[in-house]
A and B are shown apart, each in its own frame.
Chain A
Amino acid sequence: ETGVTQTPRHLVMGMTNKKSLKCEQHLGHNAMYWYKQSAKKPLELMFVYSLEERVENNSVPSRFSPECPNSSHLFLHLHTLQPEDSALYLCASSRSWTSAHEQFFGPGTRLTVL
């Protein structure tokens, strides 16, 4: 499989649940990103990882916890979310954090928090 994949594609969870979103890239890239896209709002950058180290955290609440075990995989662990966290969560990758002219995006996970 090529490109950037995300699982699951759709997720419904209660406010007390714990779930994880998974992203995998098969492009040999060293940088990976999480974005959030809420209804009627622009994409917001949440986290950036470069060579498995977090290099950017855009004031994201602690109920979102990223993990990057290697340069091909990125997770977003979710716990005690709020209904306003319902959104499309997009993962992206680029060759590197400092050579990021082109980011490749996955299809996203549509999250609904009840």
Chain B
Amino acid sequence: DAKTTQPTSMDCAEGRAANLPCNHSTISGNEYVYWYRQIHSQGPQYIIHGLKNNETNEMASLIITEDRKSSTLILPHATLRDTAVYYCIVNFANAGGTSYGKLTFGQGTILTVHP
């Protein structure tokens, strides 16, 4: 699986958008980009995933560059409860879109949302 690079930590003011970057320059055409987060003392929580197109759900938006070498997770209106470690993961999927559940977590980005 391709490796990802994320900043160690970021700060964000409550109510503002949090933009978390991720580099995955060695990503291959059949690898998805996933984002999970882990709030202190809890298990990780799935946020969103994408392959080529930008994606949006009730939690966040995922912007993937055209060359797919980097992506940005956007939390549009960060709250204090969004303080967590955010993990960007790339994972193999075959041509049929089958994605195996072998996630490789890195160190992630510690996002701190301030009042």
Contact = CB atoms under 8 A, between A and B. Distances in A.
Interface of A: 4, 31, 33, 42-45, 48, 56, 90, 92, 94, 97-108
Central interface residue in B45, B101, B104, by most chain A CB within 10 Å: B101
Interface of B: 32, 34, 41-46, 49, 98-108
Contact of A107 (B42, B99, B105): B42
28 contacts: A31-B101, A42-B105, A45-B104, A48-B102, A90-B44, A92-B43, A97-B100, A97-B101, A98-B98, A98-B100, A100-B99, A100-B100, A100-B101, A101-B32, A101-B34, A101-B99, A102-B46, A102-B49, A103-B44, A103-B46, A103-B103, A104-B46, A105-B42, A107-B41, A107-B43, A108-B41, A108-B42, A108-B43
Contact of A99 (B42, B49, B98, B108): B98
